[in-house]
Amino acid sequence: MLTSDSMTRLLWVTLLAAGLLSGATPSDTAWGILAQGAADENSAKRAEAVSAIGSIRLARATRMVEAALSDKDHSVRLAAVIALADRNSRAAIPTLKTALDDEAAEVSFTAAQALWQMGDRSGRDLLVSVLAGERKQSASFLTRSMRDAKSTLRNRKALVWMGAKEGAGFLFGPLGYGLGIVEGITKDDSAPARALAARLLAEEKNPALVDELTAALDDKSPLVRVAAAKALGGFSDPKLIPKISPLLEDKHEAVRYMAAASIVRLSQPPPRR
């Protein structure tokens, strides 16, 4: 049974998604949904929201992601570290350094890896200790996910084909929170490949691919819908907002949050040439 507080939050989000709050722009609506998700009582939903917020390259989004590094749940902190790492910005180095001392091994190890890839060697001692076996990684989020996947996937060749980096980082990263990703792949083993295709095609920023990515917004897999929404958010075309907006009412929180994040991105003025 929903508590009165839960009912209030549900009504507020519903009104936002329906655009019924007076004077709310699409960006206002999207920010409201993301802020609500980042403050949700459910840690999985907070992690999903932080993952989506991380795709927004604005100071407000950065502050929200950095605040998530102090979350009481390690999965939310991990989502924040991955979001900062994905930006590949040296401006995130000081913040990532603070995560090296995180009590959760998967968080500190991911921070060390991100820093190393940016050319910062602050996590050298941690990596050395991991190599020497002094810091157990067997209980980490990533290891658990891979172990579970190996025991349940019918089509194991899919992970091999996608490679260790894409199979682990993309399938079992923040996008996997709350989506039942392992169970979902057993029912639709082509979903990861479709999601990866959407992400790779988006890197080209080719307007000719917009129709294909838009069609993927209706994909039966929530993983693909998340990937398509994120991809379209990078095209700097506000005309795409009405195409993404229906996903604000998707039954999966991760899809709603990524759709909201892309609407915020599309609402920004185009970069000066």
Q: Count the domains in the chain.
A: 1
CA distance 240 to 216: 13
Residue 257 lies in a domain: yes
Residue 97 lies in a domain: no
Residue 99 lies in a domain: no
Residue 218 lies in a domain: yes
CA distance 144 to 139: 6
Whole-number pLDDT of residue 31: 96
Residue 95 lies in a domain: no
Whole-number pLDDT of residue 54: 92
**132: helix, coil or strand?**
coil
Residue 133 lies in a domain: no
Residue 106 lies in a domain: no
Distances in whole angstroms, Cα of residue 13 to Cα of each of 10, 16, 24, 257: 5, 5, 13, 11
Whole-number pLDDT of residue 273: 60
> Is 241 a residue whose pLDDT tops 50?
yes
Residue 222 lies in a domain: yes
Whole-model pTM?
A: 0.75
> Is 64 a residue whose pLDDT tops 60?
yes
Q: Which two tokens stand for residue 33?
A: 């949904």
Q: Residue 245's domain spans which residues?
A: 23-87+140-266
CA distance 16 to 8: 12
CA distance 3 to 60: 30
Question: Percentage of residues in the chain with pLDDT exceeding 70?
Answer: 69
